[in-house]
Amino acid sequence: MGNAPLDTDLFDRAARFALQAHAGTERRGKEFPYIIHPMEAAAIVASETSDPELLAAAMLHDVVEDTDTTLEEIRAAFGNRIAALVAAESDVEMPLLPPSESWHARKQAAIDRLAAAPREAKIVALGDKLSNMRAIARDYALRGDAIWDLFHVKDRTAHEWHYRGLAGALADLADTYAYREFVRLIDEVFPRQEEEIKPVRIDLRDYERAGEGSNGASFNHRTDPDILLKLYFKGKERQAVDELRVARNVYAAGIPTPEPGDLVTDGTLTGIRFRRIRDKVSFARAVGNHPERAAGLAGDFAALCKRLHETHVDTSLFENVKDRYLRLLAANPFFDAAQKRKIADFIHAAPDADTAIHGDLQFGNALIAGENRWLIDLGDFCYGYPMFDLGMVYLTCKLNEERYTLEAYHMDNATASAFWDAFAPAYFGPDADLAAVEAEVRIYAGLKTLIVERDTRRPMPEFRAMLEGTIY
């Protein structure tokens, strides 16, 4: 059967126009026709939209900047919209500045212009920038830092500044695969130089043990009421360093969480000092102590979760929740290859987002202190679709054995279930189809249970049905 008919007249004209404009020129240092680059840019744009004018603009995006073609000629041949899209992709010349300054100024102006541009212009720009970044990444893999000698500006840090600036300007497209590839390639070519964090030596006799969790114990300072110490168990030194880096980035993003201090060691164990939140109680303890207040506390917790899930983050600083689940799935022993493919397909199909994910969101990891609400234990913090977080909330409230709920959260299952029943309409809105919400969230609870916690004691019918193909 032949391909379905499609009106490609506009794109065909743009392709012929670009081919003629770039005729006889090569992609710098590549020894292949320049037209290959706009063709790749158009293919990337086609992966995100079928809008024929955006595809045409992608083919034409360099003709004004790199050939004798004028913007007026583009407008006359293809109309105002395509001309505006091409203009958004063209550097503005700055002849009054010396060459050493004009490159940076032009790139900064382009970044600023792109940040303020509409989404459609950003899609066209992403096609161009990702094509460039693919070429740089290929060359970098072969030649390393010698590739910068191919550019007019040979300072590696200048190029990193440029591409990270572009990633910030294009952050509205964080929900697209192309943008995620763009950021991943930037990080490959310009790996962040992580500052070595050296622990400060402490005397544990200055601290008083306050509690214990699965990864370590907490301590209050005996004389300074503003210091909380989280000391990790033996063998978890790397986890302490990683969590401190995450905690600092989370705090900087404006997430309500205790201010992280320094890395410390008592000579045997490693830990983190935080600014202590005084007169605090966890949501779990508050509900357990006052079950009659479960509905009101659930509303407060929902507001805190919504604030978290509406916070946009720098995706270069955190792991994508999909990547985290796929990594854990690969190491999971409970599923055969066919089941893993099915689960991976489900994870890939989940919506993309650049908003914050706690990673272990439940009412034991949120605190009440007067009028303030705080999130703690952010070692699994990442970004993505909120349902990955809400699955854990549901799991905590609805799917635990009573013995575990009593031990871990200081309440019985009936109270925990009532908490979810009040949380769901507060989070999703009073007009939400809560039955549909629960049907979706139970699958994410199943993912959390079986993939992350490797717990097979709580079978999830919906999750099993997904594997068998009856849901997904």
Residue 459, domain member (yes or no)? yes
pLDDT of residue 92: 63
| Tens-place pLDDT, residues 343-390 | 888 888 899 999 999 999 999 999 998 888 889 888 889 999 999 999
Mark whether 334 and 443 lie in a shared domain.
yes
Mark whether 133 and 270 lie in a shared domain.
no
pLDDT surpassing 90 at residue 116? no
Number of domains in the chain: 3
Mark whether 351 and 399 lie in a shared domain.
yes
Residue 243, domain member (yes or no)? yes
CATH number for 29: 1.10.3210.10
pLDDT class for 456, splitting at 50, 70, 90?
very low
- Which of the pair, 71 or 2, is modelled with greater confidence? 71
For the residues 89-115, what does the mean pLDDT come to?
72
| Tens-place pLDDT, residues 200-235 | 999 999 999 988 877 788 999 999 988 999 999 888
Residue 1, domain member (yes or no)? no
Mark whether 288 and 418 lie in a shared domain.
yes
Mark whether 314 and 179 lie in a shared domain.
no
pLDDT of residue 275: 87
Residue 367, domain member (yes or no)? yes
pLDDT of residue 220: 92
Mark whether 336 and 377 lie in a shared domain.
yes
For the residues 98-102, what does the mean pLDDT come to?
59
Residue 259, domain member (yes or no)? yes
Mark whether 269 and 375 lie in a shared domain.
no
For the residues 79-104, what does the mean pLDDT come to?
75
Print the domain residue range for 182. 9-189
pLDDT surpassing 60 at residue 96? no
For the residues 398-410, what does the mean pLDDT come to?
87
Residue 194, domain member (yes or no)? no
pLDDT class for 1, splitting at 50, 70, 90?
very low
pLDDT class for 399, splitting at 50, 70, 90?
confident
* Among 167, 189, 211, residue at a domain's last position: 189
Mark whether 266 and 285 lie in a shared domain.
no
For the residues 66-74, what does the mean pLDDT come to?
92
Mark whether 385 and 271 lie in a shared domain.
no
pLDDT of residue 106: 82
CATH number for 206: 3.30.200.20
CATH number for 286: 3.90.1200
pLDDT of residue 192: 66
Mark whether 259 and 325 lie in a shared domain.
no
Residue 4, domain member (yes or no)? no
pLDDT surpassing 60 at residue 21? yes
For the residues 408-420, what does the mean pLDDT come to?
92
As a dihedral over the C-alpha atoms of residue 59, residue 354, residue 471, residue 439, rounded to 10 degrees, the angle is -150
* Among 136, 166, 189, residue at a domain's last position: 189
Mark whether 421 and 395 lie in a shared domain.
yes
For the residues 186-209, what does the mean pLDDT come to?
84
pLDDT of residue 238: 80
Mark whether 263 and 239 lie in a shared domain.
yes
Question: Which residues are catalytic, by number?
Answer: 65-66
Residue 195, domain member (yes or no)? no
| Tens-place pLDDT, residues 279-327 | 889 999 999 999 999 999 999 999 999 999 999 888 888 889 998 888 8
* Among 146, 169, 189, residue at a domain's last position: 189
Q: What is the 3-state secondary structure (H, E, C) of the chain?
A: CCCCCCCCHHHHHHHHHHHHHCCCCECCCCCCECCHHHHHHHHHHHCCCCCHHHHHHHHHCCHHHHCCCCHHHHHHHHCHHHHHHHHHCCCCCCCCCCHHHHHHHHHHHHHHHHHCCCHHHHHHHHHHHHHHHHHHHHHHHHHHHHHHHHCCCCCHHHHHHHHHHHHHHCHHHCCCHHHHHHHHHHHHHCCCCCCCCCCEECCHHHEEEEEECCCEEEEEECCCCCEEEEEECCCCHHHHHHHHHHHHHHHHCCCCCCCEEEEEECCCCEEEEEECCCCCEEHHHHHHHCHHHHHHHHHHHHHHHHHHHCCECCCCCCEEHHHHHHHHHHCCCCCCHHHHHHHHHHHHHCCCCCEEECCCCCCCCEEEECCEEEECCCCCCEECCCHHHHHHHHHHHHHCCHHHHHHHHCCCHHHHHHHHHHHHHHHHCCCCCHHHHHHHHHHHHHHHHHHHCCCCCCCCHHHHHHHHCCCC
